[in-house]
C-alpha cells in the first residue's frame, strides 16, 4: 500500500490562499533573525490496508546573534512515534507521542526545556489529477519544563494547507521530482514557558522532493517562520532535509531471503 496519497483542489484558489498566508508571515515587525537547519529521518511501516506506524528521529541547529553559521548551536533533538489510520481515501487520522530535548542555548534566548508531546491529527485530501491538496489539523498537548524547573501543560492547535505537485509525471513513483508549498498557523494556550501570546507562529514552506524508489524519498525545503515572543519577535529562515524510508526492514529481509534463495538454487 502506498503511504503517499495522490490527490487535490483548484490551483488558482490554492495559490491565493498560500500567498495570503506568506504575506501574513513576513508582514509583522521583524526584530531578531536566526538561520537554522532542521533534519529528520522517517521510518514508515505498513501493517495492513488501514493501519501503519512511523518513527521520526530529528535534530535542529541554529545560528546566533554573534555567528551566522546555521550549525553554530545544536538546539534540539527529538524522537517521535506515530500510529496512522486510513479512514477513507480522503481522511487519514493519526496520533503520536514524542520526546523533545530542547537544549540550553542562551545565545538565541532558549533555556533547557525537556518536553513530552502527545498529539491527535487529521488530514483531509482533495482529489485532483496532477497534484495534491491537503489540509492538516493537529492538536498537541505539550508537557514542558519552564525556567523555574517546574513542568507546565501547553495546548497548541495547528492548521496547515499544503500543495504537492509531481514535476515529471502525473503520479508519485520512483524517479519523480515533485514540488511542495505549504503554510501553517499555530495557536497556543498562555503559559510561562511559551509566553502569553495566543498566536504562536506562522510557518511557510516551499521546496522539492525526489523518490529514489517507491519506498525511499528525500525532501529539501526552505521555511520562513514568524514567532511573536514576550522578549522580542523572531524571524527564522530554515533549510530543512527529510529522508523517508517505507517498510525499510521488511524490504531488506525480502532482498536477503531472495538472494539466499537464488544462491541455494545455484
Taking only the tens place, the pLDDT of each residue in 91-104 is: 999 999 999 999 99
pLDDT band at 266 (very low <50, low <70, confident <90, very high): low
Mean per-residue pLDDT for 169-196? 90
pLDDT score at 29: 45
pLDDT score at 176: 96
What CATH architecture applies to the domain 11-265? Beta Barrel (2.40)
Say if CB 37 and CB 238 are below 8 A apart.
yes
pLDDT band at 213 (very low <50, low <70, confident <90, very high): very high
Q: What span, in angstroms and rounded, lies between the C-alpha atoms of 206 and 183?
A: 9
Q: pTM to 2 decimals?
A: 0.81
Residue 237: is its pLDDT beyond 90? yes
Say if CB 161 and CB 137 are below 8 A apart.
no
Beta bridge pairs of residue 139: 120, 157
Instruction: Estimate the share of the chain in helix, then strand, then coil, as percent rounded to the nearest 5.
Output: 15, 60, 25
Q: What is the 8-class DSSP label of residue 28?
A: S
- What stretch of H or E contains 62? strand 51-62
Q: What is the 8-class DSSP label of residue 195?
A: B
> How many Å separate Cα 247 from the centre of its chain?
20
Q: What span, in angstroms and rounded, lies between the C-alpha atoms of 81 and 262?
A: 36
Summary mean pLDDT of the chain: 86
Residue 40: is its pLDDT beyond 60? yes
Backbone angles phi, psi at 83, to 5 degrees: -130, 130
pLDDT score at 260: 55
Amino acid at each position: 500500500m502506498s503511504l503517499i496519497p495522490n490527490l487535490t483542489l483548484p490551483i488558482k484558489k490554492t495559490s491565493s490562499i498560500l500567498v495570503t498566508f506568506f504575506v501574513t508571515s513576513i508582514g509583522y515587525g521583524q526584530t531578531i533573525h536566526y538561520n537554522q537547519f532542521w533534519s529528520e529521518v522517517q521510518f514508515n511501516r505498513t501493517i495492513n490496508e488501514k493501519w501503519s506506524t512511523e518513527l521520526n528521529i530529528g535534530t535542529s541547529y541554529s545560528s546566533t546573534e554573534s555567528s551566522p553559521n546555521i550549525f553554530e548551536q545544536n538546539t534540539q533533538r527529538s524522537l517521535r512515534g506515530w500510529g496512522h489510520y486510513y479512514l477513507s481515501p480522503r481522511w487519514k487520522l493519526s496520533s503520536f507521542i514524542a520526546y523533545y530535548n530542547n537544549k540550553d542555548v542562551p545565545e538565541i534566548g532558549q533555556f533547557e526545556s525537556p518536553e513530552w508531546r502527545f498529539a491527535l491529527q487529521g488530514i483531509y485530501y482533495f482529489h485532483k489529477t496532477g497534484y495534491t491538496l491537503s489540509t492538516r489539523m493537529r492538536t498537541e498537548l505539550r508537557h514542558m519544563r519552564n525556567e523555574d524547573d517546574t513542568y507546565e501543560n501547553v495546548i497548541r492547535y495547528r492548521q496547515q494547507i499544503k500543495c504537492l505537485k509531481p514535476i515529471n509525471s502525473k503520479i508519485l513513483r520512483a524517479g519523480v521530482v515533485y514540488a511542495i508549498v505549504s503554510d501553517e498557523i499555530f495557536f497556543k494556550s498562555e503559559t510561562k514557558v511559551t509566553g502569553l501570546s495566543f498566536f504562536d507562529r506562522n510557518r511557510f514552506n516551499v521546496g522539492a522532493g525526489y523518490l529514489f524508489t517507491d519506498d525511499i524519498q528525500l525532501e529539501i525545503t526552505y521555511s520562513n517562520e514568524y514567532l511573536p515572543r514576550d522578549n522580542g519577535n523572531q524571524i527564522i529562515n530554515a533549510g530543512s532535509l527529510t529522508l523517508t524510508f517505507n517498510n525499510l526492514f521488511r524490504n531488506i529481509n525480502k532482498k536477503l531471503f531472495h538472494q539466499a534463495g537464488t544462491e541455494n538454487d545455484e
